[in-house]
A and B are shown apart, each in its own frame.
Chain A
Amino acid sequence: MEIWNVLDEFLPQLLLVLFALIMPALDYFFKDKRVLAFAALAPLVAYALALVSWTIGGYWEPAISEPRIGLLEVNLFSGVFALAFVAVGIIVVLSSPEFIKAERNQGEYYALLLLAITGMTVVALATDLIVLFVGLEVAGIASFALSGFSKREKRSAEAATKYFIVGGFSSALTLFAISLFYGVSGTTEIAAMGPQMDAMFADVDGTHSVAVLATVMLIAGLGFKIAAVPFHMWAPDVYEGAPTPVSGLLAAASKKMGFAALFKIFLLGLVVVKADWDVAIGIIAILTMTVGNLVAVVQTNIKRMLAYSSIAQAGYILMVLPIGTEYAVAGGLFHVLTHAFMKSGAFMVVAALAVRGVGESIDDFKGLGKRSPFLALAMTLFLFSLAGIPPLAGFASKFVLFSSAVDASIAPGGQSWLLWLAVAGVLNSALSLYYYARVVKRMYMEKGSDERIAIPKMTGVAILFALVMTILLGVYFDAVLELCQEAAGSLLQSVP
């Protein structure tokens, strides 16, 4: 029954857009704004269930073989990414009503959220550079507006402005890169770029330099999305200023969209010029994790600390590109999944505390272990997972990432310098434990106010969901890795 084949083609995105469009109307009709959140949850949960029953349950298969709109392709690779985006979407929507209670125009908020998720999933599905760019822009513009949603707060407005300016600049770079690629390859279809470029290199003089220029621009343009050094400067300011659930969305989902695009373009389209970019991206990866962790050490604001921590995490995932093996891509996908839960979970704990009037300074976390045992425990587990302590999810995915670097460096014919990526990753993980553990110390070892904190209900549910997933992904290491390996295979099988 093809009509039930809900993941086919564009149907889930249409559903998301439809709900986005009716949000302002719902806002007009319902006094209780929680209705909006539940309405926004509906398409997300439906999409998530469909994805889970396909990727994990294996109950049915979408029609992968013949994509009818030739520009989008449903496969396991896009499935895993979409799963991460939708899961973060659910967590963010769940914790929003309590956080933006006092704001006006909440209908637009949820509409923008749904549109942002739509854009991200389009990037995951795209097989063509133009469609991919449209997805990037949809998600980007929606998130510019979202980060400025708390209009009365100066910080929020400042964040949105900065995000918009830097984002616009980066979009221009990306678009420029795409047009140059079109120039040297004559196609915008990602999988066809490689062979076409090969053909061009033989015929036309100087094509290679143009390809390198385009690659550099693409690295800069997408480096902005994933906040890779030195294109990361906007991230801490924006994460700090944006409403906390939106910061969670940016760190846990929007950033992953950048990776979806990077994996596709570099491992599929630009693999023919890999020798040109692999060392450069390797260096960026090491720089990104090192700078992120070093600066995180000296932060005093928890949101800024989490921002730098996610810059560092992007460095870990960036390793995948120079390594390029199936196991590495599986590790990258695994880390995308785990990071989606642990990072959004950590942001939602901050959001829950903000709802109850607790500040964003790390010192405000003093004595949290006594004040709210659940939030403190959840935060501890999220942070330990980020640091990579077993048996939590972060350990499992980092383990796969680092071991893929080691494997690739000792494999026959492998590049020995890849080992340094693993070394840098391990040293950085050790360094990161320092600032994560510091927060845990504040929560449990230091005395703070004695006043108990009541957990906001919906945010609590979101945190619980993220927490359960953070533990499950670590415990069912094996099953998740298997899924990620299949997904990585589905990306790499189309490599010419």
Chain B
Amino acid sequence: MLEYAWLIPVFPFVAFLLISLLPKRTLSWEDGAGYAIGGAAGALILSALVIGDVLAGNTMVGDGPKFTWLVVADIEVTFGIWIDQLTAIMLVVVAIVGTLVVIYSGGYMHEEAERRRRYYAEIMLFISVMYGLVISDNYLQMFIFWELVGLCSYLLIGFWYEKPSAASAAKRAFIVTRVGDIMFMAGIIILFKYVGSLDFANLFGDEGVAAVPNDMMILATALIFGGAIGKSAQFPLHEWLPDAMEGPTTVSALIHAATMVKAGVYLTARSYPLLVQAPDTLLFVAVIGGVTALIAATVALVATDIKRVLAYSTISQLGYMTLALGAGGYLVVYADSAGGYSAALFHLMNHAFFKALLFLCAGSVIHAVGTNDMRMMGGLGKKMKITSLTMLVGAIAISGVPPFSGFWSKDEVLAAVYSAGEFNSLFLLLWIMGIATAFMTAFYMFRMWFMTFAGEPRSDYHAHESPKLMTVPLMILAALAMTSGFVLFIGDGFGAFSGDSISELFHGGHHESAADILSHIFGDPLTYVSLVLAVMGILLAYRMYYVPGFDRSVFARGLSGRLQKALENRWYISRFYDDFAVKVVYGFSLVADAFDRYVIDGIVNGFAFLGARSGNVIRRTQTGNVQRYTSLIVVGLCLLLIFMLYIVPWGGW
């Protein structure tokens, strides 16, 4: 089955072609939603077969079918597929969330009329290239798809391009992630210089790893992680993600919560065989992850736009995953365990489900109320039972209350970070940041839920529950958010399964029974620290936003007032970029512009002038007079004869 995995992206791509090329009248229902669902479902079924094969223990790493695209000297550019446990986990996420979001769109995008066709075409293109990204077997192919998902993200953020804020958000996302992309590209160029190939099979093997000198390995891996910083919205390149919320909510759920932003985490996980050679990079990865998790969570505390709360929450959770990957690398190197790596992937999968759920619930709310501002909402619980309940499930899951999925993976992440503290005490500091983030996460999630669904309406609206097409995907995702954590206990357990994809890097790989895992988790006092903090967060939100009569203005004075202001301004990071862009970059651009205008254009125009001028001069010989043509042939013939008889024997070339 695995050798047919390349067909997975083909399904959505065909749907993309059909939707964009077929005459409008043949698109029928919802301008192509039928084709879109068909394409997504086809890919889902095929992914399920491939995942089943991987679960049965088969992988295809470096021995899959290859398509040679280009041969330059002894360099081959090939396209191929690479299926291991890591790929399978990504396939689960993309297939399930992708299909559900497309179904949900059938209801959500109903009012978009003319634009629906563009929407479905772009969404299908995105799903197709996202699949392409996760099954790539070399960095170049991955980079191509990496850029393509970036393009789709740009197109879909700017879906309502006539709105200036959407157009500029799209540009911003594109440009900021491009900073990361350049680093990614620089990283793979360094690897190519030393290894002479970009295939994972060659790079990750012993010979490939040995070919790169140590300091260059640190640089290359750090640069590749730079790509992840951009794509996965890590500090300091994280500010594009909240702005990206200008796109339709379905897009936020699919691209900016569940799949594309995970590509950075995926890239880091995929590069593990290289990263473990460079512990310095691992530390860098962990610090970036920890800082991102904390900073983003603080901003989410005060955000009032429901989608921005979720966006900051996404950044914060992505930080968790990055942190776990950094710590996990230390565990692989020093403790011979894949615990951190598995924790990151476990959280990646769980997060995809509950965050997609939260976004789609938010979409359902926005659909009903017509605003993103939570200060205008309130009291929706009674009118939108399914939405409020499913969103509650999502909020509980992300807050880390057992037995919902978020609890298990967050606990694993924090446990991994704590145990890495044994090898570098910096991880203890990062663990504290993680614990603090867990508290804040519980607080801001329930703050959001109470502000939206509890109390009385704070503005005039006539909300109603969304159609079945939207609520059914919500219920499926809610069920997944409740239960996806239990994969920890199925079979050999998620830990052993995901660890297999880096099995050559460590020798541990102990397979624990369900009872062992449970006693492991609940026998650890640290579990209760994070649990108590989560519950405290929920209770605090309950006290502040549910029980009437709480005076929140106490926070608006003194030091806390200044802090709140800083948070509301997103730690001034966004403003810093704007100022930086305006003063420094613009200044530099002016110089570059002048250079371009006078020097480069001068040269180009000079040539163009010369070209057109000489073109005109030569054209004048073209008189249309046939006698002239034949005599010119004779002249040419004579010149050639003179040249070949007298000049060639004399010349010394």
Could you list which residues of chain A lie within 8 angstroms of chain B, going by C-beta atoms? 161-162, 165-166, 169-170, 173, 209, 212-213, 215-217, 219-220, 223-224, 229-231, 233-234, 236-237, 275-277, 279-280, 283, 291, 294-298, 415, 417, 431, 434, 475, 477-478
Binds A, one of B150-158, B525-533, B609-617: B609-617
B588 in contact (CB, < 8 A): no
Do A431 and B611 touch across chains, with their CB atoms under 8 A apart? yes
B69: contacting residue among A166, A277, A477, CB under 8 A: A477
Do B619 and A295 touch across chains, with their CB atoms under 8 A apart? yes
Do A212 and B633 touch across chains, with their CB atoms under 8 A apart? no
Do A165 and B630 touch across chains, with their CB atoms under 8 A apart? yes
A478: contacting residue among B69, B621, B644, B648, CB under 8 A: B69
Do B615 and A217 touch across chains, with their CB atoms under 8 A apart? no
Name the B residues within 8 Å of A212 (CB-CB). 641, 644-645
Docked complex Cα distance between A275 and B611 (Å): 33
Could you list which residues of chain B lie within 8 angstroms of chain A, going by C-beta atoms? 68-71, 607-608, 611-612, 614-616, 618-619, 621-622, 624, 626, 628-630, 632-633, 635-637, 640-641, 643-645, 648, 651, 653
A483 to chain B, nearest CB (A): 14
| Residue ID in chain A nearest B608 by CB atoms | A434
Name the B residues within 8 Å of A224 (CB-CB). 633
Do A166 and B629 touch across chains, with their CB atoms under 8 A apart? yes
Docked complex Cα distance between A173 and B637 (Å): 10
Name the A residues within 8 Å of B616 (CB-CB). 298
Name the A residues within 8 Å of B626 (CB-CB). 161-162, 165-166, 234
14 contacts between A and B (CB under 8 A): A165-B626, A166-B630, A212-B641, A216-B640, A217-B637, A220-B633, A234-B626, A237-B622, A237-B624, A279-B648, A280-B644, A417-B653, A434-B608, A477-B69
A334 to chain B, nearest CB (A): 14
Name the A residues within 8 Å of B614 (CB-CB). 294
Docked complex Cα distance between A283 and B639 (Å): 12
A230 to chain B, nearest CB (A): 4
A475: contacting residue among B69, B618, B628, B633, CB under 8 A: B69
B294 to chain A, nearest CB (A): 45
Do B622 and A233 touch across chains, with their CB atoms under 8 A apart? yes
A-B residue pair count with CB separations less than 8 angstroms: 92
B contacts with A: majority SS: helix
Instruction: Indicate whether A276 sits within 8 Å of B648 (C-beta atoms), given known contacts A216-B637, A220-B636, A294-B614.
Output: yes
Do B629 and A162 touch across chains, with their CB atoms under 8 A apart? yes
B68: contacting residue among A165, A431, A478, CB under 8 A: A478
Do A279 and B653 touch across chains, with their CB atoms under 8 A apart? yes
Name the A residues within 8 Å of B69 (CB-CB). 475, 477-478
Do B636 and A231 touch across chains, with their CB atoms under 8 A apart? yes
A421 to chain B, nearest CB (A): 13
B640: contacting residue among A220, A294, A295, CB under 8 A: A220
Instruction: Indicate whether A280 sits within 8 Å of B622 (C-beta atoms), given known contacts A166-B633, A230-B636.
Output: no
Do A233 and B628 touch across chains, with their CB atoms under 8 A apart? yes
Name the A residues within 8 Å of B608 (CB-CB). 434
A396 to chain B, nearest CB (A): 9
Do B628 and A280 touch across chains, with their CB atoms under 8 A apart? no
A449 to chain B, nearest CB (A): 23
A333 to chain B, nearest CB (A): 17
| Residue ID in chain A nearest B68 by CB atoms | A478
Do B622 and A236 touch across chains, with their CB atoms under 8 A apart? yes
Docked complex Cα distance between A296 and B68 (Å): 37
Name the B residues within 8 Å of A161 (CB-CB). 626
Docked complex Cα distance between A209 and B614 (Å): 36
A294: contacting residue among B68, B618, B641, CB under 8 A: B618
A417 to chain B, nearest CB (A): 6
Docked complex Cα distance between A123 and B99 (Å): 59
B648: contacting residue among A166, A217, A275, A296, CB under 8 A: A275
Docked complex Cα distance between A415 and B652 (Å): 11
Do A277 and B644 touch across chains, with their CB atoms under 8 A apart? yes
A258 to chain B, nearest CB (A): 15
